[in-house]
A and B are shown apart, each in its own frame.
Chain A
């Protein structure tokens, strides 16, 4: 509870802001040396994600007849349109906006590094994320653990085989309210955040890969028993730092996932959002086989200077913006 009169002051020290600038410079050099092109795409877009758990900020603009535009929750759709347009490997450092996300590791406006590698799968991209982390943070080479193995190791639960009742009992024991109304993915997510995450990335980064197919988001699903999403996340000191996909390129599958989200949005009374028809058109025209990843730059700077509070690395968090 700081005095409102002091709210003109930055929450980050000048040293932290210098560390942020240095991290950005290292990232740009890293990609420049590898021939990855820096791009910029619109922060304001006519469409946004359908993801049930992402809350876009909408605004109305006079120049487009007062119709809605959305602040991007990530530059993913626009960057995929560039890839379909033949850009080759690209990266972007930009602001992303997500309403409702505020805490020690979240600010509703944050800085994201996102990049795409045509011709790569998620394992090859994990190699590059690992090299970037070694370059920026000076950490040891990362370890790779499948989602299922991490669950088994830290909770004794097989996330693919355990029945909902067992997961529900586990989650209730963690002091979670209203477990009866949580779906399977909620239960898995809570077990991950309460019992697994803080044990990941200790000593070296942990790359968690091959997620349940129900948590594919925009990743390909690899058939098998069980089928798994070719998705990965990266953790250091228990902090989730990045999320990557072997990207879904099939426009029909992408449309089905959008429609399923929209149906679920209506069922839950969440705001209707416009499906990104330009992304679907780009996929239909042909998105190259590629892998992509989004990495939280603020969290990277947090790790660089050794703080657990995002306000220490942002000049003006939302309540001082």
Chain B
């Protein structure tokens, strides 16, 4: 991977800090008074999601992190690992359960997910922004009550629980925004 000097340090750049892949979320040039210049960065650790700050001299270099995002198809899981297939090379990759922890409640076999790879290993799995899933359990709503704005919890086939309008029934398919967990419409 290339190294970057402070002129190349920009928001969105993926770098290695203490061995961990991080993404720069803020970069600012500081030159106090008549002194030497520094670059002050904020970075999010892609493993822990934590944001930290670091100040570097203009002569410092940072190492780039081999982080790529790829659309991959979710195949199946065997309880401990989740298997994905590269859409171009058809290679298969196994992801640990903790990598999929947020996505797991939304994805079904054959869904295309955005997989972040660090040194070739899955780091984060993002589900599609919108999924269409069947409601496997919800209380029967009152028919005709379509506009009151009332909602009820519904369990989807993947295990996620979302709030749906009262008129939506068990067995129906609904469209959900996975970024917010919000019901969008009947599918």
Chain A residues with a Cβ under 8 A of chain B: 1, 51-53, 100-106, 174-178, 182, 185-186, 189-190, 192-194, 197, 211, 215, 217, 233, 240, 243
Interface: B50 (CB within 8 A): no
If A1-B12, A186-B35 touch, does A177 touch B29 (CB 8 Å cutoff)?
no
Question: Are B30 and A102 touching (Cβ within 8 A)?
Answer: no
Interface: B89 (CB within 8 A): no
Extra A-B contacts (19), CB below 8 Å, given A176-B54, A211-B33, A243-B34: A53-B34, A53-B35, A102-B29, A103-B27, A103-B28, A104-B29, A106-B31, A174-B55, A175-B52, A175-B53, A175-B54, A177-B56, A177-B57, A186-B35, A190-B38, A192-B32, A194-B55, A217-B34, A240-B32
Chain B residues with a Cβ under 8 A of chain A: 7, 12, 27-38, 40, 52-58, 60
Question: Are A175 and B29 touching (Cβ within 8 A)?
Answer: no
Q: Could you jot down 24 A-B contacts, CB within 8 Å?
A: A1-B12, A53-B31, A53-B34, A53-B37, A101-B37, A102-B29, A105-B29, A106-B29, A174-B55, A175-B53, A176-B56, A177-B57, A178-B60, A185-B35, A190-B32, A190-B55, A193-B32, A194-B40, A194-B55, A211-B33, A215-B35, A240-B32, A240-B33, A243-B33
Question: Are B29 and A53 touching (Cβ within 8 A)?
Answer: no
- Bound together, the chains give a CA A215 to CA B32 distance in angstroms of 11
Contacts of A174 in B (CB 8 A): 55
Contacts of B7 in A (CB 8 A): 100, 102
- Bound together, the chains give a CA A231 to CA B7 distance in angstroms of 30
Q: How far is the CB of B179 from chain A (nearest CB, A)?
A: 21
- Bound together, the chains give a CA A178 to CA B12 distance in angstroms of 24
Question: Are B35 and A189 touching (Cβ within 8 A)?
Answer: yes
- Bound together, the chains give a CA A101 to CA B33 distance in angstroms of 13
Q: How far is the CB of B101 from chain A (nearest CB, A)?
A: 29
Majority secondary structure, A binding face: loop
Question: Are A177 and B54 touching (Cβ within 8 A)?
Answer: yes
| Nearest CB in chain B to that of A106: its residue | B29
Question: Are B54 and A100 touching (Cβ within 8 A)?
Answer: no
- Bound together, the chains give a CA A189 to CA B57 distance in angstroms of 12
Q: How far is the CB of A107 from chain B (nearest CB, A)?
A: 10
Question: Are A186 and B54 touching (Cβ within 8 A)?
Answer: no
Q: How far is the CB of A173 from chain B (nearest CB, A)?
A: 11
Q: How far is the CB of A255 from chain B (nearest CB, A)?
A: 19
Question: Are A101 and B31 touching (Cβ within 8 A)?
Answer: yes
In the A-B complex, the 9 residue pairs with the closest CB atoms: A103-B29, A189-B35, A189-B32, A193-B32, A176-B55, A53-B36, A217-B34, A175-B54, A177-B56
Contacts of B52 in A (CB 8 A): 175
Q: Which of A103, A105, A174, A215 has the most CB of B within 10 A?
A: A103
Q: How far is the CB of A183 from chain B (nearest CB, A)?
A: 9
- Bound together, the chains give a CA A233 to CA B30 distance in angstroms of 15
Q: How far is the CB of A197 from chain B (nearest CB, A)?
A: 7
Q: How far is the CB of A240 from chain B (nearest CB, A)?
A: 7
- Bound together, the chains give a CA A194 to CA B60 distance in angstroms of 19
Contacts of B60 in A (CB 8 A): 177-178
| Nearest CB in chain B to that of A187: its residue | B35
- Bound together, the chains give a CA A177 to CA B58 distance in angstroms of 11
Q: How far is the CB of B55 from chain A (nearest CB, A)?
A: 4
- Bound together, the chains give a CA A53 to CA B40 distance in angstroms of 17
Question: Are B37 and A51 touching (Cβ within 8 A)?
Answer: no
Question: Are B34 and A103 touching (Cβ within 8 A)?
Answer: no
